[in-house]
Chains A and B, each alone.
Chain A
């Protein structure tokens, strides 16, 4: 564990030095994310100008859900996304994955943390306060037990999201040139910003069980606003563990089938 923390710190420092050379890119990326926040808030205002609640969630609860889901996504964007995406775009196709297999570390973790974008963490300085403000303004009775269980489930949601990211790119082991899988999560992320109640039963099964991307954001947020339900907590633990095991298993299969031949 200590070894991974040390490696991470070195990679963060490298990212800081490297990315500092590209101030225009940093500003552009930052502007993009701020614009996304503004557009999303305008959209929520449009929605709530016509209704009082969305599937039982008021305006500020939905804003909180948005801010929380974006916090998970942005943290992974800054930390693991580029590394995970490179599996689908470069590492397998060019045979560069050898480099990570040869190291005395876990190849899945090493690939994930190899290319952080440290400046992308800056957006969290807007997103986290927005989430806290929205939670306060929601008018919901939030007790210490809510906060406690929220933090536990949020951590699990963060880990679950990571496993889902990895699952998306694992097909790259077998389909050498399939870049589109590197962007699947970007498209599915949109599910996370709305309460699960708006979706039909079929979609709910898909996004809460089969590919539980909504579980990662919706369950922790529900625990914060409503009395903690033991079934939510147990489900979150079980599904995170199940997808963790599945991810590790499929990654192992992928590594076994990896031929190292580049195209």
Chain B
């Protein structure tokens, strides 16, 4: 356990070496919130409606506020397994006395924690800027939201580890992984609340596990999901996550047998 904590500490230090780089990245990521804020204000103003598909303007702005937060916890940009397999760096981890997957998870978690830490002042800034439009969760829903986000991270880990493990069999997957994650992000509701979709398409989106990454946590935050459905959602997140973990394990074990460690 101690070696993993030491490794986590090293990850933190490495990240802080170039903190200005991450700060600049975060500052400019804020533009998305302000664009959607302006856009949806204009839409609600033009439509003359107080609600669109059960969403008020406040719901919509809160949705984007929560999404901006969840994006900071998005593991997709911080998993390096595929790259390590492709360039042969995985060999370094394989010969060390630790679990390779655990080390990969620790690296990602350290990146996420620091990103979240650096984002905190900006989240407060957004909150103050859009104070009149942001709905805060009541009581127990804060806890439900945190659990939902953590399960979302677990699900995202499971999906992405599976995608990265395909590098063993299919070669460099960096472009394809980004492409798939771009599509997953859209299906998950990272562009707009899924409730705005027409009924037929929405049913399709709701049947997929990806909505648990963005749309579902945001709705839990806004208290728009009944408690019984929250528990059902958690069960489904665990189920989907376990399914992807099993597939990943099979692909990873098979891949290790084929792995030559020569790199590209």
Residues on A close to B: CB < 8 A? 24-25, 28-29, 31-32, 35-36, 39, 43, 46-47, 49-55, 175, 177-181, 183-184, 187-188, 190-191, 194, 197-200, 203
Contact = CB atoms under 8 A, between A and B. Distances in A.
Nearest to B171: A24
Given A39-B186, A198-B38, A198-B39, A178 B20 contact: yes
A12 B59 CA distance: 49
A203 B197 CA distance: 29
Q: Is the interface of A mostly helix, strand, loop or mixed?
A: helix
Given A32-B179, A178-B20, A197-B42, A50 B47 contact: yes
B28, B178, B182: which has the most chain A beta carbons within 10 Å?
A: B28
* Chain B residues touching A, majority SS: helix
B244 to A, nearest CB: 22
Nearest to B172: A24
A223 to B, nearest CB: 22
Which residue, of B21, B22, B41, B172, has the highest number of chain A Cβ atoms within 10 A? B21
Which 9 A/B pairs are nearest by Cβ-Cβ distance? A28-B175, A180-B24, A180-B25, A198-B42, A51-B46, A187-B28, A50-B47, A51-B47, A199-B38
B23 to A, nearest CB: 8
Given A29-B175, A49-B198, A198-B38, A39 B21 contact: no
Contacts, number: 82
B38 A188 contact: no
Contact of B38 (A50, A52, A200): A200
A32 B175 CA distance: 9
A35 B25 CA distance: 24
A50 B43 contact: yes
Interface residues of B, number: 35
A191 B197 contact: no
Contacts of B43: 47, 50-51, 54
A51 B42 CA distance: 10
A85 B178 CA distance: 19
Contacts of B52: 50
Given A32-B178, A180-B21, A55 B42 contact: yes
A29 B47 CA distance: 37
A203 B34 contact: yes
Contacts of A178: 20-21, 24
A190 B39 CA distance: 11
B28 A180 contact: yes
A28 B174 CA distance: 10
A46 B35 contact: no
A214 to B, nearest CB: 11
A155 B126 CA distance: 36
A191 B31 contact: yes
Interface in B24-68: 24-25, 28-29, 31-32, 34-35, 38-39, 41-43, 46-47, 49, 52
A54 B40 CA distance: 10
Looking at A43, A180, A183, A191, the one whose CB has the most chain B CB atoms below 10 A away is A180
Interface string B125-161: 0000000000000000000000000000000000000
A140 to B, nearest CB: 18
A50 B196 CA distance: 9
Contacts of B29: 187
**A50, A52, A177 — most chain B CB neighbours (10 Å):** A50
Contacts of B198: 49
Given A35-B179, A35-B182, A180-B28, 15 more contacts: A24-B172, A32-B179, A50-B47, A52-B46, A53-B46, A54-B39, A55-B42, A178-B20, A178-B21, A180-B25, A183-B28, A184-B24, A187-B32, A198-B38, A200-B38
Interface in B203-226: none
A183 B25 contact: yes
A29 B18 CA distance: 29
A35 B180 CA distance: 10
B15 interface: no
A25 B172 CA distance: 10
B256 interface: no
Contacts of A35: 179, 182-183
A198 to B, nearest CB: 4
A9 B178 CA distance: 31
A124 B23 CA distance: 34
Nearest to A29: B175
B126 to A, nearest CB: 14
A242 to B, nearest CB: 23
Contacts of B182: 32, 35-36
B11 to A, nearest CB: 18
